[in-house]
């Protein structure tokens, strides 16, 4: 569990430098240049690896019985992945669904937590959901409402197809990532 907690903390720290301390990041980039971005990218990669191994090494201690059936978890994850890949695309839901990457992570994380109910899912998925939602609020406070491109059918279709492919990849690698196949959970 310690690796999972430490990796979640590293994920949040590495992602929060730009969101919560943009002046610090700019100062570091001005002083040290491009390597700062590389260091943050390596920290994010290390956190993802730590999250995977930390998850697999942690015992699934139940906090509550799963609140969502697997089919609903998969459906919400699909919506999250569509949202995640729609960032920057002229999609029809973009007028009211700003920062789709962060909302996509929140949907993915909340579905997993409510579909699991374990202590380790609270750390991983609760941490991801909390980070993403706090980041949305912080970005709105810092930047205000973003400009959204006019929606197109092509942009929406690309997001739907991309999100579907991303969901399929997650499903296909689920056993490697989590130790469980989706069929075991069904």
Is the pLDDT score of 115 beyond 80? yes
How is residue 171 written in tokens? 């499903």
Mean pLDDT of 130-156: 90
Domain locations in the chain? Answer: 1-58, 61-186
- Which pLDDT belongs to residue 184? 61
CA distance 137 to 159: 24
Average pLDDT (150-166) is 93
Is 48 a residue whose pLDDT tops 70?
yes
Is the pLDDT at 183 greater than 70? The verdict is: no
Q: How confident is the model at residue 176 (pLDDT cuts 50, 70, 90)?
A: confident
Check whether 103 has a pLDDT greater than 90: yes
pLDDT at residue 41 is higher than 80: yes
């Amino acid at each position: 569990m310690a690796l999972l907690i430490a990796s979640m903390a590293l994920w949040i720290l590495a992602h929060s430098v730009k969101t919560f301390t943009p002046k610090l990041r700019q100062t570091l980039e001005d002083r040290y240049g491009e390597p700062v971005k590389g260091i943050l990218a390596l920290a994010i990669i290390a956190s993802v690896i730590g999250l995977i191994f930390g998850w697999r090494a942690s015992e699934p201690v139940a906090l509550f019985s799963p609140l969502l059936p697997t089919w609903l978890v998969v459906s919400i994850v699909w919506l999250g992945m569509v949202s995640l890949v729609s960032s920057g695309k002229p999609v029809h839901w973009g007028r009211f669904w700003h920062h789709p990457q962060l909302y996509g992570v929140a949907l993915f994380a909340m579905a997993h937590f409510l579909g699991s109910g374990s202590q380790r899912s609270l750390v991983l998925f609760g941490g991801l959901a909390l980070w993403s939602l706090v980041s949305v609020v912080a970005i709105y406070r810092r930047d205000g409402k973003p400009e959204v491109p006019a929606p197109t059918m092509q942009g929406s279709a690309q997001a739907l197809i991309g999100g579907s492919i991303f969901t399929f990849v997650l499903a296909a690698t689920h056993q490697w990532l989590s130790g469980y196949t989706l069929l075991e959970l069904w």
